[in-house]
Amino acid sequence: RCGLLFAGANTAWSGRSADLPVGVQNGILTAREITLMDLRNADLVVLSACETGAGDITGEGVFGLQRAFKLAGVKTIIMSLWNVSDNVTQAMMYKFYTFWLSGMTKKAAFDQARNELQKIYAQPYYWAGFVMLD
């Protein structure tokens, strides 16, 4: 019940898949399709949209995008657990990538980015929703 929407998804979603050019995918990548991919060489997947860490909770754990990417072999996932403003998300991602590309480890860059956000936004609502899953 979860996935990612890409170009063409609105056409397929509205039931007009036949309108897509021949050989073009429908633009919908489901969690099931992700689990069938070989992403063992993917060091990091960033799902910065709202609630990308959410999923259905069962006796076997949380089923969602994060589980699909882990089953596909991704080493680390950054995601959000709830709705966070676009401005805060942009700041978080900018800071994370700046720190990481400057030579910090992923974990250190993520922690530093969250710490920087915490200085600007004291309330945990703004920064605590971003999590890193190794």
Q: What is the pLDDT of residues 35-47, one digit of tens each?
A: 999 999 999 999 8
Q: What is the pLDDT of residue 63?
A: 63
Which residues neighbour 130 within 8 Å (Cβ) at sequence distance 6 or greater? 78, 79, 80, 81, 84, 92, 110, 114
Whole-model pTM?
A: 0.79
Q: Are 80 and 90 in contact (CB under 8 A)?
A: no
Q: What is the pLDDT of residue 23?
A: 65
Strand 130-133 with 44-47, pairing: unpaired
